[in-house]
Structure 1
Amino acid sequence: MKMDTYYIFYLTALELNFSRAAKRLFITQPSVSQSIAQLENHLQTQLFQRLSKGVSLTTEGKQLFEQIKPAFETIQLAEKTMSERAQLKQGSIAIGASDSACKHLLLPIVQSFQNKYPDVHLKLQNGSTPELLAKLQHGLIEIALVHLPIDEQRYSVEGTYSIHSAFVVGERYKHLTEKAKTLSQLAQYPIVTFSQQSQSRMYLNELFASHHLTVSPEVEVSAIDVLLACTKIGMGIAFVTKEFVQEPLNQQDIYEIPLTTQLKKRHIGIVTTKHAPLSYASQSFLSTLTNSFNNYK
């Protein structure tokens, strides 16, 4: 027997009326009667007793109904779940970013997305670019904000955000901001930066190496808040992403040192794993995040 025949029996058992079952199925009453007769012949048993105002289930009909009922209820629940996910009435999104990117780029989008879709659960994880790419590869997150470039044979870059590097100081070294400095001059002062594993630190090493200089930081930290705190109390010159320290710059808690060398722009990318399908919720969030980056451009 085809599944359709059992579904016709299931709805008829619910309605206990061939006409009402036919209406729900968008078929004719004779079609319902014919299908029930075929099923009764196939099972070699009577499933319904015909009454003047409908039908009732026989003992065998009740037994069959109870056994197939969970299957159709499961299908209906699955359809309801898929519909709710498509309408973003449920679902979850796993996203990764560094502390700074999370605070300045991700959280504003998260807030507006949650206001629009309060029933979607967002999971945030932080880490360095290599850590986040590993989490993407192992399916622990679906979307990541990482520093570019990356291996684009394994990952898809859905959008980019341009960032600018800067050297900043607190009051103790404010005199360094009076005139443009060379990298050689900055190398004579204590440097405050992120740890060796960070993309920012790697870029700093490459920058100094390109001018035949080496970096020997006196302070290495893993969080932007700690880096800024060390800078404010005069522990040295901090290498930062300007977009992520704009507020303390505006408030003159820290000061940017002008350089004789123009630093090239860097980029943060919205990255997904190639060929990995995204949930409805993740697709919607990715679109929102990408549009936000594009508007920034």
Structure 2
Amino acid sequence: MDVKLELYRTFREVARRGSFSAAAEALFISQSAVSQSIKNLESQLGVALFDRRGKQIALTPEGRLLYGYIDEGLKSIRQGEEQLGQYAKLEKGELKIGVSDTISRFVILNQLDSFHRIYPYIHLSIINGTSIEAVQMLKSRDVDIAFVNSPVKDAALEEHPFFKVHDVFVAGDEYRHLAGRPLTARQLADLPLILLERKSNARRRIDRLFAQQGIQIAPEIELGSHDLLLDLARINLGVSCVIEEFAAHYLKWNLVFKLQTEFAVPARWVSWCKLKSSALSPSGQIFADLIGTAPTVLQ
């Protein structure tokens, strides 16, 4: 049954005030319009909702039954509208972000802190995962925004460059004899490599880099943590591929050193992504503005 909501609003107002004329005044419409609305509603429902005795009206049993549901329903609608208004003003709500431990620690930690200080009533939900997992969370709408190692090249997503990074190879003191000596891809591949696990975007990029030179690498150790890459290199278990910007402390204090390569390792971006098909929530848009949206979208 398709009954217009306004008919129910009119019905509730008449029932509350016990008068067509009082309801008309409250609704800022004519009394005849109120009367016609009630007739239309009774016709659509197939029952009489009011006993009409001269100028006096009273709810019928059917009217009393309906009133209980309509009153609660309209109150719920009003509460929903108020909640939406609060969300729009960022007085309530939730922002769900899909991101790796490394990116959350080194790239967006300050932005998360600033957002929470400015909008303390917005619940922040940080869900950890690799770039590939973060993309899947975004596409299944489990998160509002995903931070990824670019590129992801998914037609369903908008990908916005946010933070430029550089992949470098580092090692500990036992490999100091290699310092200042540019290494070929083959020489590097023959060393005990410590890399991220294959399911990560960053690792796939390194695999492609070597494959372009006809080399299939076989790492000695594969890990899920960027910090462990640095620590294992520091204790001389091998040569790790890390993000230079995230290894600044280790490099500054000579806990590891950077190897030189004969081949170029292009810079890349950490980007934030959203679904093309959906607008960001108010909290999501504010966060995107806070981190600084780049004007270009990666292709």
TM-score of the two chains, using structure 1 as the length reference: 0.78
User: What is the distance in 2 between the residues matched to 1:137 and 1:5?
Assistant: 40
Q: Which residue of 1 aligns with 2:175?
A: 173
* 1:240 alignment partner, SS class: strand
* Cα distance, 1:118–1:15 mapped onto 2, change above 3 Å: farther
* Cα distance, 1:71–1:201 mapped onto 2, change above 3 Å: closer
* Cα distance, 1:141–1:37 mapped onto 2, change above 3 Å: closer
C-alpha contact 1:5 1:35 (8 A) present in aligned 2? no
Q: What is the aligned counterpart of 1:250 among 232, 252, 258? A: 252
- How far the C-alpha of 1:256 sits from its partner, in A, is 1.6
Q: What is the aligned counterpart of 1:263 among 238, 262, 265? A: 265
User: What is the distance in 2 between the residues matched to 1:257 and 1:134?
Assistant: 35
Where does structure 2 lack aligned partners over 5 or more consecutive residues? Answer: 43-47
C-alpha contact 2:49 2:60 (8 A) present in aligned 1? no
Q: What is the aligned counterpart of 2:233 among 223, 231, 234? A: 231
C-alpha contact 1:88 1:117 (8 A) present in aligned 2? yes
In the TM superposition, 1:97-176 aligns within 5 A as 97-176=99-178
User: What is the distance in 2 between the residues matched to 1:255 and 1:48?
Assistant: 95
Q: Which residue of 2 aligns with 1:53?
A: none
For each residue in 1:203-246, what CA deviation from the matched residue of structure 2 results, as whole angstroms up to 9, or x when unmatched? 22233333444423222211112211111111111111112212
- How far the C-alpha of 1:104 sits from its partner, in A, is 1.4
User: What is the distance in 2 between the residues matched to 1:5 and 1:138?
Assistant: 38
* Cα distance, 1:14–1:262 mapped onto 2, change above 3 Å: same
In the TM superposition, 1:209-220 aligns within 5 A as 209-220=211-222
User: What is the distance in 2 between the residues matched to 1:48 and 1:153?
Assistant: 66
In the TM superposition, 1:1-297 aligns within 5 A as 3-4=5-6, 6-8=8-10, 10-11=12-13, 25=27, 27=28, 31=30, 33-34=31-32, 37-38=35-36, 43=48, 45-46=50-51, 58=58, 60=60, 63=64, 65-177=67-179, 179-183=180-184, 184-291=186-293
* 2:108 alignment partner, SS class: helix
* Cα distance, 1:273–1:40 mapped onto 2, change above 3 Å: closer
* 1:156 alignment partner, SS class: strand
* 1:245 alignment partner, SS class: helix
Q: How many residues align?
A: 283
User: What is the distance in 1 between the residues matched to 2:113 and 2:229?
Assistant: 26
Where does structure 1 lack aligned partners over 5 or more consecutive residues? Answer: 51-55
* Cα distance, 1:72–1:234 mapped onto 2, change above 3 Å: same
C-alpha contact 2:94 2:125 (8 A) present in aligned 1? yes
Q: State the one-letter code of the partner of 2:183.
A: T
C-alpha contact 2:86 2:92 (8 A) present in aligned 1? yes
* 1:203 alignment partner, SS class: helix
- How far the C-alpha of 1:80 sits from its partner, in A, is 0.5
For each residue in 1:96-140, what CA deviation from the matched residue of structure 2 results, as whole angstroms up to 9, or x when unmatched? 122221221233222211222222222222222332222222222
TM-score of the two chains, using structure 2 as the length reference: 0.78
User: What is the distance in 2 between the residues matched to 1:221 and 1:109?
Assistant: 27
**Matched-pair identity in %:** 25
* 2:219 alignment partner, SS class: coil
C-alpha contact 1:158 1:290 (8 A) present in aligned 2? no
Provide the alpha-carbon RMSD of the alignment: 3.3
Identify which range, 268-277 or 2-11, moves more after superposition.
Answer: 2-11
* Cα distance, 1:3–1:269 mapped onto 2, change above 3 Å: closer
* Cα distance, 1:106–1:10 mapped onto 2, change above 3 Å: same
User: What is the distance in 2 between the residues matched to 1:11 and 1:97?
Assistant: 50
